Amino acid sequence: MFDKILIANRGEIACRVIRTCRHLGIQTVAVYSEVDAGAQHVRQADCAYPIGGPRPQDSYLRGDAIIEAAQKSGAQAIHPGYGFLSENADFAERCAKAGIVFIGPSAESMRKMGSKAGAKELMAAHGVPVVPGYTGENQDAALLAREARRIGYPLMIKAAHGGGGKGMRIVREADEFAANLESCQREAKNAFGRERVLLERYIETPRHIEFQIFGDAHGNIVHLNERECSAQRRYQKVLEETPSPFLTPELRTKMGEAAVAAGRALGYANAGTVEFIVGPNAERSGGDFYFMEINTRLQVEHPVTEMTLHLDLVELQLRVAAGEALPGSLLRNKSVPQDGHAIELRLYAEDPQAGFLPGSGKLQRLRLPAPSPHVRVDAGVVEGDTVTIFYDPMIAKLIVWDRTRADALLRMREALAQCDVIGPKSNIDFLERLVRHPAVVEGRIDTSYLDGCLDEFLPGEGKNADPAMLFAAATAWLLHEETQVRDAAMASSDPHSPWARADAFRPGHTGKRIVVLDHTAIHAFGNAGNYALNCGELTYQIEGAVLHDGILSARFDGISQRFGVTVGNDRIVVHTNAGRREFAHTPPFAYARVNSESSDVVRAPMPGRIVVVKVKVGDTVAAGQELLVMEAMKMELSLKAPQTTTVASLHAQAGEFVEADAVLARFSSDHP
């Protein structure tokens, strides 16, 4: 076994690898970019080396700097995590030449299957069903357009060396192909260092099933059961689980055998994942599944496999890389018996109601559920850390386990209820709606469902109209205010202090008060947990209200109710079994600034880098025309003209970094 390894990654996966190494007594070396100097993976490792600037191209994609750090530190091996250089055959080969073990498959295997295009060709040659498409190396735009017409629409453009939902586009019409190709290639180059793409027919309403495989250098290979990843938004997995509620035992056997056969054909060693796209008739026919790609690395969703098989896949990776054989307990069976059901969700800094725009900023408050035999949290940040614009905005992965799928869903709801994020916006509310949605609860969601029915998972007009939650929030804020006043009075020893007065200055008196939540005024009379609340035509009588340890209990119009509540930072989160609702608290006489600029400017929706500027001053642009393209959080954002107008001035150029809300373009006040 190794004495010291370097982890060529960051965030939660680096912290997760460090955890296993610490258990095995292996020293760890981290690497970090300029903005990650204080990151958790740097703090948790035994030592860490700087490797460059904040952009991945200047740091985590610099194989030379990483190998140099490994040599300086005396690391015997490099664990690549996932993303960055994890599926880069050239990097694996350079590690071998430098006398450093790459903890993953060989460069030869990666070249055969690390490329989506090469993997499809190889699988087809070995009789594994593949989706019709084009996987050639010729990337001439005209040729790709001809191949697209041959394949037929709708089709998918995919980064040949990508993963994690990046560098993928669905194209439904021929006239949309060129723009999507350009954007996909650019995103692929920025995220993975290579712009090669492949084309394949897009299968409507499919399921996404992947099989974890593991091989060693002694010719052994097994599969460790499947994971279903059909809940996706823009090809980014949202919920992963095992076992799949969709597969029959017969279909599971066929797909597992195909996954192992693919690995054996390659002499595969270490961890890998064979991904299949499964048609809607597969459950009945026992077929209709197609090879999609092979990921030559550990997957983001590997914890659900670990939770149901009671294995440490990182430990297996390390032992196999050190030359050990797979344990006999795995080799005695064609598949490994599963124990219970596990589900994983990813908590992100993003705004679902703004098109899931990635967020950034300091995590002023971060509350996650306590780990237990039923709950696991994999995180790369803690309260006080900053989510930067340069990398994936994941805050944490929540993984739950229980005996049945229904119980695991209940565990996940409980875990989400214990989460709270203040700072950048998060997707907690979206995730809570997701795990309660009938399509998820009934196990019938497909890969296109979320994108097609997204409004079912987001709050909208009338969806949060329950007055009980509004009045519970008002009650919680009143109790919160009274506690603050009481504490201030107790802290003051001056009898003449205004905090000691009992007149109208003190907000705890029985006179009228106004609580403004989400721009809605609630009029309140009373104190000490007994209030008459009025909002428009609605009136509630609150009696015996107590707020303790995040629980509000009170009698609402004589009916006793209980709510989970978080109060502070001018916000109140109210939680019930049906989900959560967050209210913004505003002082009753706060000044509301009106944006007088209307649509005469285009602003940066978040911090990021300008990739391309497509117009110049004086151009007349049509409503919806693309003006600029931004890159942030490893994704591209297209900024378009709000109306038909003339470009009066431009305030950004390609390659420039801009802050959130910065004016990028102004338009003439005299519109055509």
Q: Which residues are catalytic?
A: 297
Tell me which residue has tokens 């890998």.
272
What is the dihedral angle through the alpha carbons of 230, 235, 236, 239, rounded to the nearest 10 degrees? -10
Residue-wise burial string across 137-165, b where 16 or more C-beta atoms lie within 10 A, e elsewhere: eeeeeeebeebbeebeeebbbbbbbbbbe
- DSSP-based helix, strand, coil % in the chain, nearest 5: 30, 35, 40
Contact 601, 651 (CB under 8 A): no
End-to-end CA distance of the chain: 72
What distance lies between CA 275 and its chain's CA centroid?
Answer: 19
Nearest to 431 by CA among 343, 347, 341: 347
Bridge-based pairing of strands 289-295 and 4-7 is unpaired
Q: What amino acid occupies position 49?
A: Y
Query: What are the backbone angles phi and psi of residue 478, rounded to the nearest 5°?
Result: -60, -45
Residue-wise burial string across 427-442, b where 16 or more C-beta atoms lie within 10 A, e elsewhere: bbbbbbbbbbbebbee
Bridge-based pairing of strands 221-233 and 168-171 is unpaired
Q: Rounded to whole angstroms, how far apart are CA atoms 325 and 588?
A: 68
How many helices (H) and strands (E) the chain has is answered by: 18, 39
Q: How many CB atoms neighbour CB 217 within 10 A?
A: 16
Nearest to 317 by CA among 398, 213, 163, 240: 213
Q: Rounded to whole angstroms, how far apart are CA atoms 233 and 236?
A: 5
Q: Rounded to whole angstroms, how far apart are CA atoms 274 and 161?
A: 15
565 beta partners: 574
Contact 341, 243 (CB under 8 A): yes
Alpha-carbon torsion (575, 577, 580, 585), positive or negative: negative
- Residue 511, helix vs strand vs coil: coil
Q: Rounded to whole angstroms, how far apart are CA atoms 49 and 55?
A: 16
Q: Rounded to whole angstroms, how far apart are CA atoms 640 and 638?
A: 6
Contact 657, 638 (CB under 8 A): no
Q: Tell me if the bond preceding 154 is cis, omega within 30° of 0.
A: yes
Q: How many CB atoms neighbour CB 456 within 10 A?
A: 15
